[in-house]
Every structure is written in C-alpha cells, then in structure tokens.
Structure 1
Amino acid sequence: MGAGRAGPGGAGEGYAPPWSTRTARTTGVLYLTMALAGVPAFLLLRPLLFSPGDPGATLSAVVQHEGLARLAVVLELGLVVTQSLTALWWWRLFRGVDPFAAAATAVFGLVNAVAVLVSAAFLATAVRLAGGGDAGPVHLAFTASDALWGVGAVFFGLWLVPMGVCVLRARWRPGPLGHLLVAGGAGYVLSVVLAQVLPGAAALSGALTVPATVAEFAVIAHLLVLGGRPGRPGRR
C-alpha cells in the first residue's frame, strides 16, 4: 500500500521534503569548505601575522612570512566564494519550506561575504606595502581588516537565526538543533556588541560564539550524512 506525496503541512510516512538529497549534500560540502577556509584564515594565520599594539612586529611578521600572508589572502577569498555559494544553496534548499527565512539566510550570508572580501583587499594591500619597509600603513591595513572581521561578524550571527528557523520548519532531528542555531546566532550578534562595548571581556565574547559553532557543525553533519531527509515542514 503506497502513500502519496504529502503537502508542506501534510502527514504520513510518504512525505518527501521539497528538496533533493543531492542539493542538501552539496550545501553541506560548501558549508564544510567554508569552515575549512575560515578557521585557518582567522584563527591561525591572522594571530601569527598581526600584532595589534605593535606595528613593527606586524611588519616584521609579514616580511618574514610573506608566503603565509599571501595564503591568508587566498583563504579569505576562498571564504568569500564558499560563503556566497553556501548562502545561495541554502536558499535553494529551503525556499520551498520557508521562502522568507531562506532568503534572509542568503542575504545575510552574502553581506558577510562582502565584509570578508573587503578584509581580503586590506590584507592584500598590507602585503604589497610591506616591501616598502614602512610599518605604519601595513599595520593600519591589518587593523582595518581585523575591524571588518569584528563588525562584519554581526551578519554571520544574523544568518544563523533564519537558518535556525528553516531547520525548525523542516523539523530536522535532533529537535533542539534549530533552537540552538537561533540562540547561537543571537549570541554571536551579542558577542560583536560586547566586544565593542567591553573590549576587555574577550573571554565572555568568545564564549557567546560557542553555541553557534556547535550548531553549525551539527548542521554540516546533518546535510552530509542524512541529506536533510528526516522530518517534514510545518504549516506556513
């Protein structure tokens, strides 16, 4: 006895979500590639090259590790490309579940990608100027790049909120995943504000981003392993 395809609010084991497993897994691959570009660019290479309070040390690091500085630019450009594609594929994946939330995720993700693009331009400028031996402009370019990551992260937090709404509407398992994305996105936005108001509270700002990181990797795993198949969307 076969069951027919249910509508968005329908019930029954025959429900098929309004996306393909292939689309879900492509989204997961793009999201994972985005993480693989962003983590070393921001967490590994930037601290090695940029000394916020010491222009001379920044210049010395860029000159001594020019290859790593150029790699940082390439990784940020890779992040721009992969986040843009992830944002578009997320819209493609969930436009049949919640068009507004899917579009909001794409828009916020694309704006964050633009912020990283400008950051990459400042990094490229710093590398180019380092050969002149003047620490001031090199340090200024790195400072501007770092500031773009700091304030641009508000859009990284914002894109997680509608992403969580999409997950909730699709009723992915485990159930708390969507709520964790929404809470993680709100925490990310709060961490950006806190970093500007209380720059000495770096540990607290960092702690506020932990739920978002956990939720993101859970989403990547869900997309890659399960292809977004379990669950069914709620009524619109």
Structure 2
Amino acid sequence: MAQRLHPQWDPIAARTAGVLYLSIAVCGGFSIGYVPLQIVVAGDPLASTTNLLANIGLYRLGILADCAVILFEIAITAILYHLFRQVGPKLATLAMLARAGMIGVMGINLMFWVMPYILEQNPTGFETAQLQAMVQFCFDAHAMGVFVWQLFFGMHLLALGCLILKSSIVPHLLGWGLTIGAFGYLIQGVVELTFTEIALLDGGIIGLLVVVTISEVSFGLWLLIRGGRSLSPQSAQTE
C-alpha cells in the first residue's frame, strides 16, 4: 500500500521513540510484572514482609527499573507530540496531557513502592504486626495505583490510535490495534477501582490487553525499523 511520510516527520525522533518504547516494555515488564509477583502476597502481610527482606536486591532493581520507566516516559511523551502535532494538534495535545498525567501517577505510585523499605530500615516504634500491616498497605496501594495510571494511559492510546488513523505515516492496522486495545486499560481500570466483579468482562479485558500489547510492541518496532527511515518524496509515494 502506498504511504507518504508527513513533511514534518522526523526520522531521528521516530527511531528514538522506537528505542524508548521497547526500553519501557522491558523495564516496565520487569518492575511491574515480575518483581511484585516475587515479593507481594495478597492478604498476607507476614509473607510480603518476609519476601521483601529476602529479596532486597531484586526489590532495588525494580525501583531502578521504575525510575528508568518514568524518565523514558517523559522523553517519549515529548517526542510523540513532536511527531504527530501536525497530524492533529488537538488530539496530539490530548495524547500528551493524558500520558503526562499517567507519569504523575506513576511517580506517586513509586513512593508507595519505596515506603515498605523505609519502614523496614528505620526505627518506627510500631509493633511487628503493625509494621507488617503498614508494609502490606503500601503494597496494596501501589497495586491500585497501577489501575489509576492505566486510565490515563488508555486515554493516551485512544488519542494516539486516532492520530495514526488520521495520518498517512504509520500503518493503520497499528492505529486500530491501539484504539481498540486502549479500552482494555480503560475498562480494567474502572472495574478494579470500583471493585466490580463481572466474570464476562474478564475474558474481554484479557483479549483487549493482548491486542494492545501486541500493537504497542509492533508500533515500537515500526518506529525503530521503518519510522526511522529518511525517504525522498518520490520513494515515499511508492513505498
């Protein structure tokens, strides 16, 4: 299919965004998907505290990965706005603000993740059971915070997907994947934050999250491999 690069498309910025996208996927998968599973035990403060003390090195690596994600997110938010502002200024602004809101929540959420270590390493005067309960509370708050920033991220992906569909730069299949898959984050965030339990929604949410995950990784790869190509006007028309 013929595609035409937008006159304002910046190949270097696109390639940088691709690197950031994939870096966020790796660091975020580690800090959000892997580390909590090794430490936090739902409803068991003693087990969570024990796991924390037994896996301090892994815990610190998770914090480092979270810090990297936040810094990478700031950079990619600015780059995506730069790439797509000519396609749709209002949508690009919405995408930027939504992702910036997500970054703010992620920063607050990181504090909840750090607090258990502070509680364990500094004398507080609390009894052991109270201290463990506070550690578990911080872990639980961190888990709920993920669903809060998912709302912002879902809105960002919805706007970004629409921008891709409006453009003649990125394959529209990726735009549809991001637009449709964004509802996985939005619905899951609302369901979890309102403590709603509807079994029929679970399968749909999982399906949407699979779609959006594949689309995000594919978009990052496209930015890195294809979006970073500097094409002449003639080749852009025939590619």
User: TM-score range with shorter-chain normalisation?
Assistant: 0.7 to 0.9
Q: Name the one with the larger helix percent.
A: 2
- Give the superposition deviation at 1:174: 3.4
* Preserved CA contact (<8 Å) 1:62 1:130: no
- Give the superposition deviation at 1:204: 4.8
Deviations 1:33-56 (A, max 9, x none): 111211111110011111111000
* Preserved CA contact (<8 Å) 1:25 1:223: yes
What are the within-5 Å matches in structure 2 for residues 19-168 of structure 1? 19-131=9-121, 134-168=131-165
Match of 1:206 in 2: 206
* Preserved CA contact (<8 Å) 1:160 1:181: yes
- Give the superposition deviation at 1:228: 6.2
Q: Which runs of 5+ in 2 are unaligned?
A: none
- Give the superposition deviation at 1:179: 1.5
* Preserved CA contact (<8 Å) 1:154 1:192: yes
- Give the superposition deviation at 1:94: 0.9
> Structure 2-normalised TM-score?
0.84
Match of 2:180 in 1: 183
> Structure 1-normalised TM-score?
0.85
SS in 2 for 1:209: helix
- Give the superposition deviation at 1:211: 1.2
Q: 1:135 to 1:24 in 2, by over 3 A?
A: same
Q: Could you tell me which amino acid in structure 1 is paired with residue 158 of structure 2?
A: V
- Give the superposition deviation at 1:115: 1.2
- CA distance in 2 between partners of 1:151 and 1:198 (Å): 17
Deviations 1:182-228 (A, max 9, x none): 11112220122233311876555333311110110111111001116
- CA distance in 1 between partners of 2:62 and 2:177 (Å): 30
- CA distance in 1 between partners of 2:44 and 2:205 (Å): 23
* Preserved CA contact (<8 Å) 2:3 2:168: no
- CA distance in 1 between partners of 2:118 and 2:70 (Å): 21
Match of 1:9 in 2: none
More off after superposition, 193-202 vs 80-89: 193-202
Cα-Cα RMSD = 2.4
Give the number of equivalent residue pairs.
221
More off after superposition, 34-43 vs 166-175: 166-175
Q: 1:14 to 1:187 in 2, by over 3 A?
A: closer
Match of 1:220 in 2: 220
Q: 1:130 to 1:116 in 2, by over 3 A?
A: same
Q: Which runs of 5+ in 1 are unaligned?
A: 1-11
Match of 1:4 in 2: none
Query: Whose relative contact order is higher, 1 or 2, with alpha carbons under 8 Å and at least 6 apart?
Result: 2
Q: Could you tell me which amino acid in structure 1 is paired with residue 92 of structure 2?
A: A
- CA distance in 2 between partners of 1:40 and 1:142 (Å): 16
- Give the superposition deviation at 1:122: 1.1
